[in-house]
A and B are shown apart, each in its own frame.
Chain A
Amino acid sequence: MPLTDRRARIERVAGSVPARVRWVLGGFGWADLVVAAGVLVVFYVAIRTGAGVNVRFNPSRPLNIDTDPARLPYYAARSLLRMFVALAASIVFTFVYGYAAARSRRLEKVLIPALDILQSVPILGFLTIAVTTLVRLFPHSLLGLELASVFAIFTSQAWNMTFSFYNSLISLPRELDELSRNLRLTRWMRFWKIEVPSATIGLVWNGMLSFGGGWFFLVASEAITVANHDYTLPGVGAFAGAAIAEGNLAGVGYAIVTMAILVVGVNFLFWRPLTAWAEKFKQEQSEAVDVPRSLVLDLLRRSHWSRLFAPAGHAAGELLDRAGRVFGTDTRPLTGSRARRRVGDVVFTLVVVGLIAWGLVGLLRFLTGTGQGLAVFVEPLLLGLATLARVVVVIVAATLVWVPIGVWIGTSPRLARIAQPVVQVLSSFPANFLFPLVTWVLVRTGLSLNIGGAFLMSLGAQWYILFNAIAGAQAIPTDLREATNDLGVRGWQRWRRLILPAIFPYYVTGAITASGGAWNASIVAEIVTFGATTLTASGLGSYIADATATGDYPRILAGIAVMSLYVVGLNRLFWSRLSTLAETRYSLT
């Protein structure tokens, strides 16, 4: 499907943030600090719950992953199941959280800043916390580990799907809101017939992109060491892990091929039909020329199955409508007491701030109890600089390499047609799968991971930049190209006056995603193992990974908090400015 199309849609979902969100997210306010503290407290509570359950986890039989290639289809199925369970959970979470934030003025003030912070927390940080907590809650089965894995994938999908849903809810065209209330639709009808359909396109596209990113965390979560225990789940990632442990390069190769088949297959059989189907929810009242198409969807539509199931579908819809009447009618009372509202606001604020303060006190006590106090934050803050340097190197290098190539591909329609699907698969392919190969090279050449780590981080992150450079170059209007040709604008002047400004908004979108990806990857890229050799780079990522492996809870908490701080800080101080500049100055529309 055309990249321009995809970018345009993401832009509509993410870029055109309604004024209300801007207000909620504008700069650092006291509310941000309160909410950030709240998120920290939730993590703390989660860790304490896990640590407090006084049962030792002894896997009765350590799970052996069989590196026989014949077992791969089974492992692949298990991995795929995890991905889809996580997707389902993300959708449910999206509906509940997004709806609550859009509907309740009070909850909105807490939920939306919280979502913004959750988005910046490294997903492998969630994994760490989830594993420590859940494994102890289900001591004698793999269920805890399964849940932790699903949770990690969930955290890679849920936040931006929720943002997208919330954005569509609050930017629902005014006349549709009025229509719903004027016809006195039930709340359920409003949700199911107006709000969900108008959010569908955004949800599908965001879901597809996050799903692509989710493979990375699937692989990371299937084989993980927490508190001196190695945990494995049956899956492709674990298969690769076992092959690496044996130093079995052929096994790694099989796993890579299986992974590639999974990524391409899910795209072809699931996401592409879904994006083509979602076209019917377009708000524009005219037929678009360039619509995503899907062979699979065409086949389904031509088959008789859909007609066979239609009556059942209608009956189910009717039943849902009737059941949904319990939620009442969509009205907004015309009268309301201001005084009562004020009192409600005050009580709400007091309760929220009180709970957070109570949690913070508990957290401080815990930290002083372990004998480290607030000093525990110093080391990760310093190590963060090292990781930051790697992230910067990754972005700069990827920019210098991929922007010219992307522009070259994007300006040639023939090349773009070939390159697009390839880049799409590359950007979804879990880069941590390739880590062992790179590690093998590093071990052979004796190169330090302090430098090689940046390369590992870039394995996944760089594609977003290439991807968007291509899309940006494709989107340069033909008349601008012809005009500059006509005027004889060539060489560096052409880059400076036409190409760079035109692709800038696309580049910023790509670079933001790449930067987030690089931070995430640092946790697995700064400590790598191949066979018996373990390489370590000093940085915040290896700090977190190490704290996780040894089960040092204060350090886990500090590491994750500091990394989130770095990411949020970078977003607010740097990326958000660039993206404002892109929107105001370099937008082609």
Chain B
Amino acid sequence: MTTIAATRAPGAALLATERLSKSYAGADGELPVLAGIDLTIRQGEIVALLGRSGSGKSTLLRCLAGLIPPSTGTVTYHGTELTGPNPGTAMVFQTFALLPWLTVQQNVELGLEARGIPPRQRTAAALQAIDLIGLDGFESAYPKELSGGMRQRVGFARALVVEPDVLLMDEPFSALDVLTAENLRGELVELWDSGQFPTQAIVLVTHSIEEAVLLADRILVLDSRPGTIRTELAVTLPRPRLRDTKDFEALVDAVYAVMTGRERGTTTPTAVPRRTLANTPLPPAGVDGLSGLAEILAQHPEQIDLGDLADELGLEVKHLLPLVDALELLGFATADARGVVLTDTGVEFAAADVQTSKQLFAAASDHVPLVRTIVTSLHRTQDGTLRAGFFRDLLAHDYTDEQIATQLGVATDWGRYAELYSYDTLSEEYQLDPAQRVTAP
């Protein structure tokens, strides 16, 4: 937390949470998503909630909007506890959430209509918002005629026209292509700085570090499983912020270090806890993707910074993260704040032909809890088959149904490739590979 600087003069508190926790019912009791979140959103600031998928940042945003109830703790707006949807917020959605059967103007007027504002005033306000957000001339268009960027502008206009105290943004740029997103971010910041912005604060949910550093005054980094606020970083860089300045890059690196839990300078991890099903979820990475990344990394014998690698490949860091996690989990690579590099087995894996690479992969999978669990469980049965339901039940202690589906999907993919077991979709059964049955554990 090297970069925390003196915070700006704080405005009045608009939104606050106190000891907020949220858990969902799982098969085996409650699964915590958020635990003990204390945060305050003040007048005049942009706050970024940054975290990987599964850190509960979107859930937190919806708690602030009063769309989902916290399990314990409270959300207050102007000091009053919320009992329903928060009247002082408006939301911008990742998927835009436009009604395709309404024109741009009708979409923008929706919130005003709900407040019972007469048609004439409604139209005037909507046109003003449309003008502000740069949608002039598109009033009578239908959303499907618009490009992604234009659609999200409608999303912004619809939220801003009701003049909420706090604008809530749920990964608003992540469904857009890189250039469009960059442009929209720039315009948003300009508008915010111009003083014309009709809201008093913005809360932004994102998993892009650069985006958080570009936009926010304050970055709250969330931990995963359950989501807690790991660190709070103030960003004092003057706007407009330029990506290729030293300060900017330093801040991005610092945030990256915080997010991955590998702060600069600590090289040897101290006493890694034993890997279990619960603490080692499989990253959503396919075998082809991680083999491809391994081959690319093989061309960089020195550590390479993830940001540079992403640039080189024309990707975003967030796309690389699951693959890097997977390589690390399999022991094919190591990653820290300075970057990522292949291990010796990793180099071997990258260079191997199909059969050898399968063998290496099988050996490495032994360190992956879920794959290992499936193999050992299958060994203990008479006929080497087990219903997927068995593993679903095992995972239900620590994962939601949706997560279980992803976990088993990845485990199936990896196990098939490693020729450890096969899976029959119709009967939903795992079956030990015949070659494995000979070599009893």
Question: Chain A residues in contact with chain B, CB under 8 A?
Answer: 173, 175-176, 178-179, 181-186, 189, 193-194, 197, 280-287, 318, 321-322, 325, 329, 331-335, 581, 584-585
Q: How far is the CA of A329 from the CA of B87 in the complex (A)?
A: 12
Q: Is the CB of B93 within 8 A of A179?
A: yes
**A284 surroundings in chain B (CB, below 8 A):** 100, 144
Q: How far is the CA of A286 from the CA of B98 in the complex (A)?
A: 13
A-binding segment of B77-85, B298-306, B377-385 = B77-85
B322 sits at the interface (CB 8 A) = no
Q: How far is the CA of A198 from the CA of B89 in the complex (A)?
A: 25
A181 CB to nearest chain B CB (Å): 5
**B278 surroundings in chain A (CB, below 8 A):** none
Q: Taking A181-B67, A184-B85 as given, write out 6 further A-B residue pairs in contact, using a Cβ cutoff of 8 Å, ordered by the A residue number.
A: A178-B97, A193-B99, A280-B142, A325-B116, A335-B83, A584-B425
**A280 surroundings in chain B (CB, below 8 A):** 100-101, 142
B333 CB to nearest chain A CB (Å): 36
Question: B70: nearest residue on chain A (CB-CB)?
Answer: A334
Q: Is the CB of A186 within 8 A of B114?
A: yes
Q: Is the CB of B144 within 8 A of A179?
A: no
Q: How far is the CA of A329 from the CA of B66 in the complex (A)?
A: 14
Q: Is the CB of B85 within 8 A of A182?
A: yes
**A332 surroundings in chain B (CB, below 8 A):** 84-85
- B residues 41-87 near A (Cβ < 8 Å) are 62, 65-70, 82-85, 87
Q: Is the CB of A189 within 8 A of B82?
A: no
**A186 surroundings in chain B (CB, below 8 A):** 114
Instruction: Decide: A183 near B69, CB < 8 A? Known: A281-B101, A332-B84, A335-B83.
Output: no
Partner of A182, one of B67, B69, B116, B142: B67
Q: Is the CB of A193 within 8 A of B110?
A: yes
Q: Is the CB of B83 within 8 A of A334?
A: yes
**A287 surroundings in chain B (CB, below 8 A):** 144-145
7 contacts across the A-B interface (CB closer than 8 A): A178-B97, A184-B85, A280-B100, A280-B142, A331-B84, A332-B85, A333-B83
Instruction: Decide: A178 near B67, CB < 8 A? Known: A283-B100, A285-B143.
Output: yes
Question: A286: nearest residue on chain B (CB-CB)?
Answer: B144
**B358 surroundings in chain A (CB, below 8 A):** none
- Name the residue in B62, B97, B143, B426 with the highest tally of chain A Cβ atoms < 10 Å from its Cβ: B97
Residues of B contacting A: mostly:
loop
Q: How far is the CA of A176 from the CA of B95 in the complex (A)?
A: 10
Instruction: Decide: A193 near B69, CB < 8 A? Known: A285-B144, A584-B425.
Output: no
Q: How far is the CA of A29 from the CA of B68 in the complex (A)?
A: 32
Instruction: Decide: A184 near B87, CB < 8 A? Known: A281-B101, A334-B82.
Output: yes
Chain B, residues 389-411, CB within 8 Å of chain A (1/0): the string is 00000000000000000000000
Question: A179: nearest residue on chain B (CB-CB)?
Answer: B97
**A194 surroundings in chain B (CB, below 8 A):** 99
**A175 surroundings in chain B (CB, below 8 A):** 93-95, 97
B207 sits at the interface (CB 8 A) = no
B70 CB to nearest chain A CB (Å): 8
B401 CB to nearest chain A CB (Å): 9
B259 CB to nearest chain A CB (Å): 26
**B102 surroundings in chain A (CB, below 8 A):** 193
B325 CB to nearest chain A CB (Å): 27
Instruction: Decide: A584 near B100, CB < 8 A? Known: A182-B65, A184-B87, A335-B83.
Output: no
Q: How far is the CA of A584 from the CA of B96 in the complex (A)?
A: 31
**B85 surroundings in chain A (CB, below 8 A):** 181-182, 184, 331-332
Partner of A178, one of B93, B100, B110: B93
Q: How far is the CA of A225 from the CA of B112 in the complex (A)?
A: 59
- B residues 17-32 near A (Cβ < 8 Å) are none
Q: How far is the CA of A54 from the CA of B345 in the complex (A)?
A: 92
The 8 closest A-B pairs by CB, nearest first: A334-B69, A175-B97, A183-B111, A331-B84, A185-B114, A179-B97, A197-B101, A182-B91
**B98 surroundings in chain A (CB, below 8 A):** 285
B93 CB to nearest chain A CB (Å): 5
Q: How far is the CA of A194 from the CA of B107 in the complex (A)?
A: 11
- Name the residue in B84, B95, B98, B114 with the highest tally of chain A Cβ atoms < 10 Å from its Cβ: B114
B171 CB to nearest chain A CB (Å): 12
**A178 surroundings in chain B (CB, below 8 A):** 62, 65, 67, 91, 93, 97
Instruction: Decide: A285 near B113, CB < 8 A? Known: A184-B87, A334-B69, A335-B83.
Output: no
A476 CB to nearest chain B CB (Å): 22
**B97 surroundings in chain A (CB, below 8 A):** 173, 175-176, 178-179
Instruction: Decide: A584 near B67, CB < 8 A? Known: A179-B93, A183-B110, A183-B111.
Output: no
Q: Is the CB of A185 within 8 A of B84?
A: no
Q: How far is the CA of A321 from the CA of B114 in the complex (A)?
A: 9
Q: How far is the CA of A283 from the CA of B142 in the complex (A)?
A: 12
Q: How far is the CA of A284 from the CA of B90 in the complex (A)?
A: 24
Q: How far is the CA of A334 from the CA of B91 in the complex (A)?
A: 18
Q: How far is the CA of A193 from the CA of B100 in the complex (A)?
A: 11
**B67 surroundings in chain A (CB, below 8 A):** 178, 181-182
B119 sits at the interface (CB 8 A) = yes
- B residues 140-190 near A (Cβ < 8 Å) are 142-145, 151, 158, 162
Q: Is the CB of A334 within 8 A of B66?
A: yes
Q: How far is the CA of A334 from the CA of B75 in the complex (A)?
A: 11
B395 CB to nearest chain A CB (Å): 18
Question: A197: nearest residue on chain B (CB-CB)?
Answer: B101
Instruction: Decide: A282 near B100, CB < 8 A? Known: A183-B114, A183-B162, A331-B84.
Output: yes
Q: Is the CB of A321 within 8 A of B99?
A: no
Q: How far is the CA of A281 from the CA of B69 in the complex (A)?
A: 32
Q: How far is the CA of A585 from the CA of B116 in the complex (A)?
A: 51
Q: How far is the CA of A331 from the CA of B90 in the complex (A)?
A: 15
Q: How far is the CA of A282 from the CA of B116 in the complex (A)?
A: 28
A341 CB to nearest chain B CB (Å): 14
Question: A194: nearest residue on chain B (CB-CB)?
Answer: B99
**B110 surroundings in chain A (CB, below 8 A):** 183, 185, 189, 193
Partner of B119, one of A183, A197, A318: A318
Question: B145: nearest residue on chain A (CB-CB)?
Answer: A287
- Name the residue in A183, A287, A335 with the highest tally of chain B Cβ atoms < 10 Å from its Cβ: A183
Question: B85: nearest residue on chain A (CB-CB)?
Answer: A181
- Name the residue in B90, B101, B145 with the highest tally of chain A Cβ atoms < 10 Å from its Cβ: B101
**B96 surroundings in chain A (CB, below 8 A):** 285
**B116 surroundings in chain A (CB, below 8 A):** 322, 325
Q: How far is the CA of A280 from the CA of B143 in the complex (A)?
A: 11
A366 CB to nearest chain B CB (Å): 45
**A584 surroundings in chain B (CB, below 8 A):** 425-426
Question: B164: nearest residue on chain A (CB-CB)?
Answer: A182
**B143 surroundings in chain A (CB, below 8 A):** 285
Q: Is the CB of B99 within 8 A of A197?
A: yes
Question: B115: nearest residue on chain A (CB-CB)?
Answer: A184
A340 CB to nearest chain B CB (Å): 16
B103 CB to nearest chain A CB (Å): 11
**A285 surroundings in chain B (CB, below 8 A):** 96, 98, 100, 143-144, 151
B129 CB to nearest chain A CB (Å): 14
